[in-house]
Amino acid sequence: MKKLKNFSRCTFFLCLLIFIPFNQLPGQEKVNLSAGLGLPELLNLGIRYQLEQTQLGLSVGSFPSEDKLFCISGAVYYHFAGTSELSNRRLWYGRFGLTYLHDETDAVIDKYLYLDLRVGRDINFSVKVGMEIDAGIIFQLSKEETRKKPSGWFNLDLDFPLLPALGVCVFYRI
């Protein structure tokens, strides 16, 4: 629990460090807050900064379970096609992201690093609020496993270095 509190504090300060300098830049575009569900980001909260048609984002996620499961993700979005009356940001985008995922059970601690490549679309509900949906592929870059207890007589350890990436997110433009 103490590690999760430290992780939460570090994430909060990291978000502040991202937000504060961009808030001072002349010609600032938009800062977006987001909440979503995705693979590998889990249930997540995030912040993004937009420079013309490019966005830089950071999110923190978890999922309700008995395991200690959390992740931190960083992504770059490039909006390339489509127009909307509600935003100057183009509707279609490509996304490149890195995600660190930590999964701890009574028996094992797994740490993963993933690279994801996706294509998605913004759906604007108003000038301030919208939703995005994206899909693509996840590449497992690394996996570190630490056993706390010896494995039982039956150990099914499946590795999937390539998985589908999916995401749904609601965003709010500040």
CATH label of the domain that carries residue 79: 2.40.160.20
Residue 19 has pLDDT above 60, yes or no: no
Q: Which domain holds residue 40?
A: 30-148+161-173
In 40-128, at which residue ranges do the beta strands (DSSP E only) sit? 42-51, 54-62, 68-81, 92-104, 108-124
Is residue 116 a part of any domain in this protein?
yes
pLDDT interval class at 119 (50, 70, 90): very high
Is residue 15 a part of any domain in this protein?
no
Residue 106 has pLDDT above 60, yes or no: yes
Reported as a single tens digit per residue, the pLDDT across 70-98 is: 999 999 999 999 999 999 999 999 999 99
Is residue 43 a part of any domain in this protein?
yes
Is residue 123 a part of any domain in this protein?
yes
Q: What is the pLDDT of residue 114?
A: 95
Q: How many separate domains does the chain show?
A: 1
